[in-house]
Chain A
Amino acid sequence: MFPQPEAFIDALALVFSFQTLLWTMIGVTIGVGIGAIPGLSASSGVALMLPLSFQLGIAPALGLLIGIYKGAEFGGSIAAISFATPGTPAAAATVYDGYKLTERGKGRKAVLTALYASVTGDTLGSLLTIFVAPALVLVALKFGPSERFWLVVLALTLLASLGGRHFAKGMLAAAIGLFLATIGTDPISASPRMTFGLFWLEDGIYLPSLMIGLFAVSRMIEDAVDLLKERAKSMAQTVDVEAFSKGFDKNDGLTFREFLTCKKEVFLGFCIGSFVGMMPGLGGTAAAFISYGVAKQASPEKKIGTGVIEGVAAAEAGNSATVGPALVPLLAFGIPGSITAALIGGALTYHGAIPSPRMFELFPHVVYSLFLILIFANFINLGIGRLFAFVYVRLAQVPKPMLIPAIIMIAIVGTYSIRGNIYDVGIMLFFGVVGFVLRRLGIPDAPLIITFLISPLAESSLRRALLITDYNWMEALFDSGLSIGLFIATIVFSFVFVRMRKRENFSAD
């Protein structure tokens, strides 16, 4: 059982190897760039690099993907501060104060504040993950099949409720994910199921194809639609060099004392971001806005919102502090708390370390490697951000007509290279179109992908519970106080969130 010191030593050797350090640096470098480019996000970047990660060892793969995740959370602030356009949705709250600082010639100070707040919030969140996840595992190990089934149902309910303003569309997305997960092979009897007579569906829908299609290709289709509508404007796209230069004074750095004035906001961001990160369906965007709002209320004398570094610090610490805690439900229960956590879970599964409570017992060196990477990737993020943040500002100006072909090419080549199977590319492009349609209809993608990943767990838990209880449904579903409690929590949360949404709609009217 954890902590297993010899596994920690193995992990040190794995993580502090040249390959892992190199791929973590590459991940952070790519991640900051992806975050800096409006229209892409951490999940798009991680999805695109997923096929590449399959070709690495487990520690370098984790370094690459977690590096991208962390880099993108900071990188989103670069475009937000420079151009008032958030590079990622999670950086939207940074625009309010960040861009005002740029307009006053203090853009450099704002970017450095974002970097230090992001790294601090992320490091504190990662430390919390290291303490909380093993503690939760002790609880999770007491879960039997019926408890695991209701936990999955509760997680999906939270996801659908919290992840968007329309509960029915959220649950519809979850049901679509459940449908897609039934394609392939029956988990108990191994018989082909829902393959529509197509042999290449017998292994199920290939996860990288689904992820890359939904998160990367669909966004590129959306951008292509916008570009084709505004073709003339895209050809005239230029950098306003004068405005950019005015906003970034090379002599306007950030002193340590100035950063210390943001300590309250950074701490608030860490607390809120960590809590929000552990809740399925909320994510960095919600954390950033909640942190920003709370910081504004807590310190009215600082005039957050008028262009002060404390506003930038609160938003960035909030969104970055979700990174580590989003992995907590994945590690403890095998249930990803965010899309990016789901992608990292997919990579772990591919490498044989299936996320579950038993992962701590069966693959302790992988768990330790993950913890070590969560911490030291922040230092790499700090270094790369400090040295190259102002280079990335230029990257955000890459014209979309150049970016879209590059991303689609990487998506196709990456997907094709894993198995050399043209059908994988076909599935990816199909889900690219599906993802575009879903986004247009306001149907969120997070419940779909997370249900796709965890519904096999729910199905096998339910069927196992029924086998154990000789097909007594009541006993299978409600055999302990914990399962009854989880069932009641599901009903209560559904009711509460529906009422909350009704009140929000009533107020809006």
Chain B
Amino acid sequence: MDQDGKPPLVRTNRFLGLCLILGLGVLYVWLIQDPNFDRKLYDGFSLGFFPTLSVALMAVFAAVLLFDSHSGEEAANGPLISGGIIASVCVVGVGGFVYAYLLPVVGYLILTPIYMSGLAFLLGMPLRLPTIVGVLATTLVIFTIFWTLGYPLPMGILDF
């Protein structure tokens, strides 16, 4: 914060608006590279009309962020980049994608307890008996529900 108690420019809505406008400009340039973007449809609109309209509207409201009464306020109610955030995105996002990718290969019954226990441990839960029991119980309950509905989950290496 500066001497007046205002946040620095890079943390304000004004800077957010500026970044959004620049990003939207890049997005629009990328969109118009599509050869079908200007293709005329039988009702007179081009294929790119509504995407352009949406990008334009985003740019208009991003521009409003530069000037409105909240422009000098903090844009974010917490850090956008930190070690914890990167770790969470990796653990939840990347880890989740890997889990989904391996699901048909390894199988739900084997992979899910490993995934859930690993994630719980990374988030600070000691791997004691109550945790293991909770993980196994959740795995079995979800398996039973889907099996009852007639949508069995992948068995993977247990599929024999």
Contact = CB atoms under 8 A, between A and B. Distances in A.
B158 interface: no
Given A231-B124, A406-B138, A471-B44, A217 B92 contact: yes
A296 interface: no
A386 interface: no
Would you call the interface of chain B mostly helix, strand, loop, or mixed? helix
Contact of A440 (B20, B80, B125): B80
Nearest to B131: A402
Contacts of A466: 43-44
Would you call the interface of chain A mostly helix, strand, loop, or mixed? helix
Interface bracket on B: 35 or more
A215 B122 CA distance: 23
Given A228-B123, A409-B142, A220 B92 contact: yes
A234 interface: yes
A506 to B, nearest CB: 9
A182 interface: yes
Given A193-B51, A413-B153, A224 B88 contact: yes
Contact of B88 (A174, A221, A401): A221
A505 B92 contact: no
B77 A442 contact: yes
B68 A168 contact: yes
Interface in A398-428: 399-402, 404-406, 408-410, 412-413, 416-417, 420, 422, 425-426
B157 to A, nearest CB: 18
Interface string B79-114: 010101101110111001101110110001000100
A433 B81 CA distance: 12
Contacts of B69: 501-502, 505
Interface string B113-129: 00111011001111000
B135 to A, nearest CB: 8
A505 B138 contact: no
B75 A399 contact: no
Interface bracket on A: 35 or more
B123 A401 contact: yes
B36 interface: yes
Contacts of A167: 68
Interface string A426-442: 10011011001100111
A410 to B, nearest CB: 6
Given A194-B31, A402-B131, A402-B134, A166 B70 contact: yes
A356 B54 CA distance: 24
A375 interface: no
A335 B91 CA distance: 37
30 contacts: A52-B145, A166-B70, A168-B64, A169-B65, A171-B64, A174-B57, A189-B42, A191-B39, A220-B92, A224-B91, A225-B82, A227-B123, A228-B123, A228-B124, A234-B125, A402-B125, A405-B117, A405-B119, A405-B120, A405-B135, A408-B92, A409-B115, A422-B100, A422-B101, A436-B85, A459-B50, A466-B44, A471-B44, A502-B69, A505-B70
Given A168-B61, A175-B60, A422-B101, 16 more contacts: A55-B151, A56-B149, A168-B68, A171-B61, A191-B41, A193-B47, A224-B88, A228-B87, A228-B123, A408-B92, A409-B138, A412-B103, A429-B97, A433-B89, A441-B75, A463-B45
3 nearest A-B pairs in the assembled complex, by CB-CB distance: A401-B125, A179-B54, A401-B123
